[in-house]
Structure 1
Amino acid sequence: MWPYYYPVRIGEVFACRYQVVGKLGFGMTATTWLARDLKHSRYVVLKIYLESRFLGYREPPEIAAYECLNAGPKDHPGRKAIRRLLGWFTIMGPTGKHYCLVHPPLWGSLSDWLETQKSCICTGCTNFPRVTAHMLAVILRQIFLALDYAKECDIVHTDISANNVMFEIQDNSVLEEIERAELEDPMPRKEIHGRFIYQSYLIPLPKNAAGPGLPLLYIYRAPEVCLGMRWGFEVDIWNVGCMIWNIFEGNSLFDGQDPGLQYRFSTRSHLAQMVWLLGPPSREFLMGGSPWSMKYFAPDGKGSLREVETSLKFWEGEGEDRDLFIRFMKKMLQWDPKDRQTARQLLEDEWLTNRLKRVRRPITIRPPAQSRTTHQTARVGRSPK
């Protein structure tokens, strides 16, 4: 597959404007590079796709999605909560045409930050990384603003998770350090078939999870997706509910592990866990166009929301605050998509607004000490790799 990657070289200038500074990473469909925008004297990230014929499409589907987002209402507060596309262009390589997307640099994802916090936990401590209730409220506000804006633009994200909630770099010193390090002590590289293969700099960026088609993370899939029904904006709301449990409780609401399949994921097990957590779906929902509903469901069943109500082991509050949070979760985790609240409605939820009122100063999420950057604004997008 290597011949289909564009052979980037450090120092190369693209589109008479973007000079490559260092490699940030690679994925199955693209490589990611830190570059300096010579026209505007700023740092950008270049995402250079494999040769387009090899990928099987005329242009990356992300371009059409970003063009819709860029054409959306400019006064909507959610516009600033979505990762921007600064531009795109094509490059002719040895095997054909490559598309290149230009983005602002991002430090990394929420899941990256949670991983860095593991090193902050002392030996023998039973706690593990999670966000506080205040942090959760600030992050969710950005997510719901972004989703409401995306809905205005007729875009369904399909893959909301901690991997795709990313943070801006508010201090460019770490990017300047990468550029200086490449000049003074270049990263290791090797030459294969006339190509230089560079080692990536360890500025944490999330792994590629983007792609067309179904929502990608199995355990975050909404019931209508599992049952082969038509799906739309409501799958993003279900995704957010599942993600909240991961980052707030430190585990998953559903894992889909099937004992009959040596604990591999199965839709049957996933749906059974939903029934155990939420109770059985309504007959109206099951008859709503699912080709698989009778494969998995009988007309009756039993269940309740008892797990959500009893497993808040890290919950900071008691009584009314706890009850408000449970009601907030229930607004997202509903079998029938029409019963889930919209992002705009969730922005007005009592638990969320109460928590945001208690935040007296900006929430700062700090990366590992050696990178010396601070990040305050979460953005929703797909990872740059």
Structure 2
Amino acid sequence: MAIRRALSPPIRFPNHSLRRNCVSEILEEERFENFRKGCYYPVETGQVFYSKYQVVGKLGFGVTCTAWLVLDLKSHTYATLKVYIRNEANQEEFQIYKHLSQGNPSHPGYAHVRTALDAFTIPHPGGCHHGLVQKPMWESFRDLLLRNLTHRFTEDLLKAGLMQVFLALDYLHTECKFVHTVTTFSRKYGNDPDGKGYSTRAHLAEVIGMLGAPPLDLLKRGKRCHEFSLKKIPQNSSLAQSEEFLDGQNKEMYLQFMRGMLQWRPEDRKTARELLDDP
């Protein structure tokens, strides 16, 4: 006989100690144009969504949604609720999460991919919003790095983290047939010598300086190759010279590992599964 847990009553939050911000003070997502257009849902602490998720506090915000820590009144556990702006383009993200959850659960990377626990529609004057519930995330690699006084990972921590990343990527690539294409890089890369900031030309020159000239057969595939020149390639910027903290065998193993990924031809790059087997 199955035992059902009783639904907890919503928590009552005191408001006498809350600081009231100046009406004219612009905060977080309020700076975005979509906020001024009324596209964001006005979430309040203590509010209950879908009859079971009570908002405890705010976790963050972005151009597509706000994120909140919620208490599941049924399971008595905490979760993350993302409340999206009014935009039908967000439906694609919901479909992706649905597809991710339908993969092979026995794959070792399945547990390392964040899926949706629940999804629902939030009615609101002017148009409905979508809510997505997920498990709360741990600290990011960036947060862990900033908490370390040396701002460097230990070898064991880095290896453990990369194992999880490659397991997740192998699941996405082999089971879900998805490729993650969003890349964020530091603004220190690709700065044009003309002083006008980032340019594709300068960034490409830096990549060539690190990896060497691209093979001719790859250049023949490109539609914009005629726009660029192999002149003004940065000197002393090879992959080996870019690593300043390792030496000896550790450095050689690191460079071999990186070269497995950093290849001009996509077909020459190691897969996530092959990188997992790297010593």
State if a TM-score over 0.5 links the two structures.
Answer: yes
What corresponds to 2:256 in structure 1? 327
Q: Which amino acid aligns with 1:348?
A: D
Could you report, residue by residue, the CA deviation over 1:156-186 in whole angstroms, capped at 9, with x for unpaired residues? 122xxxxxxxxxxxxxxxxxxxxxxxxxxxx
Taking the TM superposition and a 5 Å limit, the aligned residue runs for 1:281-296 are 281-288=214-221, 290-296=222-228
Taking the TM superposition and a 5 Å limit, the aligned residue runs for 1:1-385 are 1-2=34-35, 3-52=38-87, 56-57=88-89, 59-117=90-148, 120=149, 128-151=150-173, 152-158=175-181, 215-217=182-184, 255-260=189-194, 262-288=195-221, 290-297=222-229, 307-315=238-246, 318-350=247-279
Instruction: Indicate the structure (1 or 2) with the bigger Cα radius of gyration.
Output: 2
Give distance in 2, aligned partners of 1:343 and 1:132: 22
Conserved? CA contact 1:65–1:155, under 8 Å: no
What corresponds to 1:375 in structure 2? none
Q: Which amino acid aligns with 2:245?
A: F
Q: Which amino acid aligns with 2:191?
A: Q
- Change in Cα spacing, 1:304 to 1:331, as seen in structure 2 (3 Å) is farther
Q: Which amino acid aligns with 1:346?
A: L
Give distance in 2, aligned partners of 1:307 and 1:255: 14
Q: Offset at 1:115?
A: 2.5
Q: How many residues align?
A: 243
The alignment's TM-score, normalised by the length of structure 1, stands at 0.59
Q: Which amino acid aligns with 1:137?
A: K
Give 3-state SS (helix, strand or coil) of 1:35's partner. strand
Conserved? CA contact 2:41–2:85, under 8 Å: yes
% identical equivalent positions:
40
Could you report, residue by residue, the CA deviation over 1:200-250 in whole angstroms, capped at 9, with x for unpaired residues? xxxxxxxxxxxxxxx34256xxxxxxxxxxxxxxxxxxxxxxxxxxxxxxx
Q: Which amino acid aligns with 1:328?
A: F
Q: Name segments (4+ residues, structure 1) moved above 6 Å.
A: 300-306
Give distance in 1, aligned partners of 2:273 and 2:235: 27
Conserved? CA contact 2:60–2:66, under 8 Å: yes
The gaps in structure 1 that reach 5 residues or longer are 121-127, 159-214, 220-251, 351-385
Q: Which amino acid aligns with 1:143?
A: V
Give 3-state SS (helix, strand or coil) of 2:109's partner. helix
Conserved? CA contact 1:308–1:326, under 8 Å: yes
Give distance in 1, aligned partners of 2:242 and 2:39: 49
Give distance in 2, aligned partners of 1:24 and 1:136: 26
Conserved? CA contact 2:206–2:233, under 8 Å: no
Conserved? CA contact 1:46–1:102, under 8 Å: yes
Give distance in 2, aligned partners of 1:325 and 1:348: 14
Q: Offset at 1:303?
A: 8.8
Q: Which amino acid aligns with 1:292?
A: R
Give 3-state SS (helix, strand or coil) of 1:328's partner. helix
Conserved? CA contact 1:277–1:304, under 8 Å: no
Give distance in 2, aligned partners of 1:17 and 1:4: 24
The gaps in structure 2 that reach 5 residues or longer are 1-33
Q: Which amino acid aligns with 2:70?
A: A
Give 3-state SS (helix, strand or coil) of 1:64's partner. helix
Give 3-state SS (helix, strand or coil) of 2:257's partner. helix
Give distance in 1, aligned partners of 2:176 and 2:237: 37
Give distance in 2, aligned partners of 1:145 and 1:218: 23
Conserved? CA contact 2:119–2:133, under 8 Å: yes
Q: Offset at 1:107?
A: 3.3
Give distance in 2, aligned partners of 1:5 and 1:139: 35
Give distance in 2, aligned partners of 1:296 and 1:65: 37
